[in-house]
Structure 1
Amino acid sequence: MSTENPARLTTADIDLSDLRFWARPLEERARAFALLRARPAPEFFTLPKLPFLGQSPGAWALVRHADVTEASRHPEVFSSEPSATSPADMPRWMDKYFNSMIDMDDPRHAKIRRIVSRAFSPKMLAKAEDDIARRAARIVDELIEAGGGDLVSQVAVRLPVEVICDMLGIPARHHRQVVEWTNIIVGYSDPEYVGATVEYGADGTARMGRLATLRMLGTIASAGWRLHRLAARLGRERATTPTDDLTSALVNANVDGERLSPREFATFFLLLVVAGNETTRNAIAHGLRLFTEHPEQRELLLADFDGRIAGAVEEIVRYSSPVIFMRRNLTRDHEMNGHTFRKGDRVTLFYWSANRDEDVFTDPESFDITRSPNPHVGFGGPGPHFCLGANLARREITVMLRELFTRLPDITAGEPDRLMSGFINGYKRLPCTFTPPASAPGQTKDA
């Protein structure tokens, strides 16, 4: 994206494949996507060529709500294979770590989803509900004792990671490592996590040397390998000595004769620990920031927390759109809204833009917790890839906001340190301050 005055942007100034675009202020990003939505047809963006990565001419950007939902409903045309999460094809040797059900179509996707859906039993989800409440109370106790600090590391990360780790039976001693490994996997474009960055020449061409690219890929693969090793160890233990956790349910599941292979279990395990915390942690952090920037919405929420929190959670997810995009791959020629896509084309479903579509949302740039209806795609579009853990995420966000705003009603967020990413709209750090409550925090035991 060029350095032109953002108020006078044209589509020629916008390059969604340029990482520098995603470092721009969010207001500029919003104006850029509004321009793209106003175009009569989707724009094509060329991917930079980097060593060792499968080369592609680029992808068509689907930025309208109607296009994103239509593509999501038709996986037989808009395929998730070979990848749904990476703009470029990653080296094939990395598939064994990251080729999970999110990168699959039916019948492979349907098989795994049947098995894992059965494993998410009402009993297991009910146990998770109790754990969420206990853990949220203890986490806020410790935030109060610390007198404030970084909301991301002290609050937003901890709740979803502890909950999903407990569901899977991952011992507490591994929680910090799980956070580090998932930060690397979703922060693959941020130099802080992978130790390498894309550089741009005077002509705007993206460059990354062979050694830097190898360092980046090696760091990501190492994190994936370590999570696979943890999954394999836990899987072997639960196969011989089952307990009541999700790992036991998954490795011992037999649905109409279908079982997960060790590799299928390991890749789904990795998907759970990554996806099981990213949307929630970022929604919690964005939520505090949004309520700080919009005090009238905080007052509205606190005036009737139980009556308005469900709408507030949906609006936080819509407005922040923690997952910015997913990729799809055309299986055949297809016409949609007057544009003909060709077999082999790639498209990028920009949820962040779809959630601001003026044809669907009145005054989409306003944060309004009473918005109704709110058909956002923050948990993915309709269809087989809608987020399996959406209800768990909603519950975690609800419980944590209740703890924060009822116990620390004046808690506010400072300036965030944003993740350098075009995939995850996340905060790496977010300072928070509050007036300590008059009474000492409760003696909540570790859940």
Structure 2
Amino acid sequence: MIETEAVSTPPLVDLDWWQFRSDERDPLFESLRRDHPRIFVPVGSNPKNGFWALTRHEDVLEVSKRPEDFCSGEGTQIFDQPAKLREYRGSFIDMDNPEHARLRKIVSRGFTSRALSSIRDEIDETVREILDEMPKDGTCDFVTDFAALLPLRIIDNLLGIPREHEAFILEATNILLGAVDPEYVADQSSAGLAAAMTEASEKLVAILNGIAEERIAEPQDDLITRLVAATDAENLTPQEMAKFFILLVGAGNETTRNAISHGLHLLTKNPDQRSKWLSDYDRYAPTAIEEILRVASPVVHMRRTVTRDGVRLGDQEFRKGEKVVLWYGSANRDESVFADPYVFDITRDPNPHLAFGAPGPHFCLGAHLARLEMDVAFRLLFERFPDIHTVGEPDVLRANFLNGIKHLRAEYTAR
């Protein structure tokens, strides 16, 4: 480990800073990329709780490609989760090979481009259904009335989960990924947070265990059946399926809903880019979606743990057990990779953003589905409400793991 000069500790674990001082994020990370791209951030008095913050694109890319040196099996969030909670949430995102490879191989058969292309019509139908349900007075909370419902409803339809569970699954998702926000968990004590998250996890597991057991007994034409009851391949156990479901409704739902929410706000703040996209939707959609993902960077960070003494990254040497945290939003604004990184440009190409993580064993399995949902969502949204726009500033989630928007007022001409 190299010596570093004394510098002030960046507020990367200060959740109030993330929620209420978002205008300071870009300047802070810009200074870190320039002067301290691998700064050590202490957490409390125990050095083992601290981490190395990696803020440059090249470092995030490099670490993601070296799971043998920087593992995921020790946890992927800054703070270690209680053992009981990891029991429920320990999906393959928190695993290393060979177990990670085994589970990802099984799950990936339901998320290939070919498998997902067949559901475009279903996504289209779902978006139209949600648009039909939008408030008729021309004012809505864009997050709760549209962006949050779309990915959740798609996932439920894919898995064959009855609509009767939708409201609870949405509530549980907010708790699991937004627990440190008092809007979702009133008791912010350690005990209160653990209790709320454990209860939400247990109820989600119960729903999925029951459905998985039903599919094993009576297979149907849905993703759960393909993952737990296929006759020509290895399957997930009901318990593994339940953990994967928690990952799917959490990561899959939250990231897409936040990308869509940020997208509408970005287009509202940049009317020239909005007009350009609407002038030829098909032409600009591919690059517009990638630019929304880059700027939004819905997942703020992921953690890796050093596997042995002597691991090097550039000129820096690490010790076994040290934590490194990959800051995707910073990497996606790296001046050495992106020209004018603070400019929202729907024609940006190339655009090697890391919004789905970097290429490597843990690259987001749902990337193709998220892009497909965003394409259909914006296409039909502007077809139905061409003048829809956000009003005021977003109500931001109190968190540093997700770049979340809880509420976002929008107005449109009702039709």
How does the TM-score come out when normalised to structure 2?
Answer: 0.94
Give the Å deviation of 1:25: 3.3
Counterpart-to-counterpart distance in 1, 2:53 and 2:302: 10
Give the Å deviation of 1:20: 2.5
**Mapping 1:233-244, distance limit 5 Å:** 233-244=210-221
Per-residue CA distance 1:98-138 (angstroms, 9 max, x = gap):
11000001100100011111233667524421111011112
2:14 aligned residue (13, 18, 26): 18
1:216 — aligned with what? 193
Counterpart-to-counterpart distance in 2, 1:103 and 1:192: 27
**Contact 1:80/1:102, CA 8 A, preserved across alignment:** yes
Identity of aligned residues (%): 45
| Structure 2 residue 326 is matched with structure 1 residue 349 | yes
2:373 aligned residue (396, 418, 438): 396
2:30 — aligned with what? 34
| Structure 2 residue 311 is matched with structure 1 residue 320 | no
1:247 aligned residue (214, 217, 224): 224
| Structure 2 residue 108 is matched with structure 1 residue 130 | no
2:355 aligned residue (374, 378, 381): 378
2:3 — aligned with what? none
Give the Å deviation of 1:255: 6.6
Per-residue CA distance 1:232-254 (angstroms, 9 max, x = gap):
00010000000011111111146
**Mapping 1:17-166, distance limit 5 Å:** 17-48=13-44, 56-84=48-76, 86-120=77-111, 124-143=115-134, 145-166=136-157
Structure 1 counterpart of 2:303, one-letter code: R
* Structure 2 unmatched ranges of 5 or more: 1-5
Counterpart-to-counterpart distance in 2, 1:323 and 1:135: 25
**Contact 1:151/1:431, CA 8 A, preserved across alignment:** yes
Structure-2 change in CA distance of 1:124 and 1:21 (3 Å): same
Name which of structure 1's ranges 31-40 and 121-130 shifts more when overlaid on structure 2. 121-130
**Contact 1:83/1:328, CA 8 A, preserved across alignment:** yes
Give the Å deviation of 1:374: 0.2
TM superposition outliers: structure 1 runs of 4+ over 6 Å: none
Give the Å deviation of 1:55: 8.8
Structure-2 change in CA distance of 1:18 and 1:345 (3 Å): same
1:263 — aligned with what? 239
Counterpart-to-counterpart distance in 2, 1:386 and 1:329: 17
* Structure 1 unmatched ranges of 5 or more: 1-9, 198-211, 438-447
Structure 1 counterpart of 2:414, one-letter code: P
Give me the CA root mean square deviation: 1.8
1:303 — aligned with what? 279
**Contact 1:322/1:425, CA 8 A, preserved across alignment:** yes
Per-residue CA distance 1:5-29 (angstroms, 9 max, x = gap):
xxxxx96262212223212433311
Structure-2 change in CA distance of 1:144 and 1:218 (3 Å): closer
2:257 — aligned with what? 281
Structure-2 change in CA distance of 1:236 and 1:160 (3 Å): same
Name which of structure 1's ranges 346-355 and 39-48 shifts more when overlaid on structure 2. 39-48
2:338 aligned residue (361, 386, 400): 361
> Residue 29 of structure 1: SS of its match in structure 2?
helix
Counterpart-to-counterpart distance in 1, 2:226 and 2:318: 42
**Mapping 1:394-433, distance limit 5 Å:** 394-414=371-391, 415-433=393-411
Counterpart-to-counterpart distance in 1, 2:307 and 2:382: 48
Structure 2 counterpart of 1:231, one-letter code: L
| Structure 2 residue 310 is matched with structure 1 residue 336 | no
> Residue 181 of structure 1: SS of its match in structure 2?
helix
Structure-2 change in CA distance of 1:122 and 1:78 (3 Å): closer
Structure-2 change in CA distance of 1:247 and 1:146 (3 Å): farther
**Contact 2:216/2:229, CA 8 A, preserved across alignment:** yes
Counterpart-to-counterpart distance in 2, 1:428 and 1:149: 13
Per-residue CA distance 1:309-353 (angstroms, 9 max, x = gap):
111110001001000000100001211121111111001000011
Name which of structure 1's ranges 132-141 and 312-321 shifts more when overlaid on structure 2. 132-141
> Residue 320 of structure 2: SS of its match in structure 1?
coil
Aligned pairs, number: 408
Structure 2 counterpart of 1:177, one-letter code: F
Counterpart-to-counterpart distance in 2, 1:254 and 1:424: 38
> Residue 406 of structure 2: SS of its match in structure 1?
strand
Structure 2 counterpart of 1:359, one-letter code: S
Give the Å deviation of 1:408: 1.5
Counterpart-to-counterpart distance in 2, 1:112 and 1:160: 23
Counterpart-to-counterpart distance in 2, 1:176 and 1:406: 27
> Residue 52 of structure 2: SS of its match in structure 1?
strand
1:208 — aligned with what? none
Name which of structure 1's ranges 359-368 and 16-25 shifts more when overlaid on structure 2. 16-25
Counterpart-to-counterpart distance in 2, 1:166 and 1:48: 44
1:444 — aligned with what? none
Give the Å deviation of 1:404: 1.6
1:272 — aligned with what? 248
**Contact 2:9/2:41, CA 8 A, preserved across alignment:** no
> Residue 184 of structure 2: SS of its match in structure 1?
helix
